[in-house]
Amino acid sequence: MIDLSKITENGKAMYLAYDQGLEHGPEDFNANNFDPQSILDIAVKGKFTAIIFQKGIAEKYYANSDARRKIPLILKLNGKTKLHKGESYSPQVCEVEEAIKLGASAVGYTLYAGSQFESEMFKEFGKVVREAHKNKIPAIAWVYPRGKDIINDTTLEIVAYAARIALELGADIAKIKYSGSLENFRWAVQCAGKTKVVLSGGNKVSDEEFLGVVKNVMSAGGIGVAVGRNVWQNSAPLEIARKIREVIFTN
Ligand code: FBP
């Protein structure tokens, strides 16, 4: 088993995701959160267990800065924009070796299971897992079932399938969407077996709603969250970070 201790604390995970500039574009940002430096500050002050960047931001804001000593990096190896319509394919844009040079303690890769390009991504992810494990770092799979035949990607069955795909393909951690209830999410965690599960944050919702989801994720056996917009789009990012931390680490 790959050691997860560099990106967890007492076996729990709280990751701050900031790859939305590529995935969604600047429409996710405002004056408070367009600057990667401000997100690094939130990650450090909010005591996240790791930050998630694409390679460009990692190179310019992390690799040669003192952040490297303060917070572990999860480097996202593939990505796409929302400008391209049609079946989803997220090509690999960074190698595991490059990620390690940039200071990564783990790597991440999005799999659009169900897309016409599923097989390409499965092949790439196979190589990512091999290289990550050769270097003794964890590989995290963002598993997002997507494509013309996926009607709803947050059902009990689809989310559990996403979790199982992560296990089957060798991921150490599966990052999956919420499937609507504690019971549903527990089934996904069970289907993930020895692959650990973190919640994928999603659109900004009220603090109460988000904290309720985090609570259910933890009760269902998840190890934590990888959250972006629900923290840095919040008017009080450190306050919500503190509350998320409380749910993950003390309840
Ligand atoms: P959020 O918490 O902001 O949803 O971030 C999680 C994440 O997986 C990001 O890493 C990624 O950029 C985004 O969601 C992808 O979202 P989408 O579902 O629109 O593809």
Q: Using CA of residue 136, residue 143, residue 209, residue 229, what is the dihedral sign?
A: positive
pTM: 0.97
Distance 225 CA to ligand 1 centre (A): 12
Question: Tens-of-pLDDT digits for all 251 residues of the chain?
Answer: 999 999 999 999 999 999 999 999 999 999 999 999 999 999 999 999 999 999 999 999 999 999 999 999 999 999 999 998 899 999 999 999 999 999 999 999 999 999 999 999 999 999 999 999 999 999 999 999 999 999 999 999 999 999 999 999 999 999 999 999 999 999 999 999 999 999 999 999 999 999 999 999 999 999 999 999 999 999 999 999 999 999 999 96
Alpha-carbon 194 to chain mean position: 18
Number of domains forming the structure of the chain = 1
Counting atoms of ligand 1 from 1, which one is nearest the CA of 23?
12
Q: What is the pLDDT of residue 210?
A: 98
* CB environment 101-134: b (16+ within 10 A), e (fewer): ebbbbbbbbbbbbbbeebeebeebbeebbebbee
Structural domain of 111 = 5-249
For residue 198, the 8-state DSSP code is E
Which residue in 90, 60, 64, 59 sits closest to 77, CA to CA? 90
Residues 6+ apart with CB under 8 A from 101: 63
Mutate to test the pocket of ligand 1, among 85, 197, 200 (most ligand atoms within 8 A of CB): 200
Give the CA distances from residue 51 to residues 38, 40, 161, 167, in Å, rounded to whole numbers and listed in that order.
Answer: 12, 8, 26, 23
Beta pairing, strands 13-17 & 173-176: unpaired
Residues 6+ apart with CB under 8 A from 223: 8, 11, 12, 13, 173, 196, 197, 198
Q: Which protein residue's CA is at the shortest distance from atom 5 of ligand 1?
A: 228
Counting atoms of ligand 1 from 1, which one is nearest the CA of 19?
12
In this structure, what CATH number is given to the domain that contains residue 53? 3.20.20.70
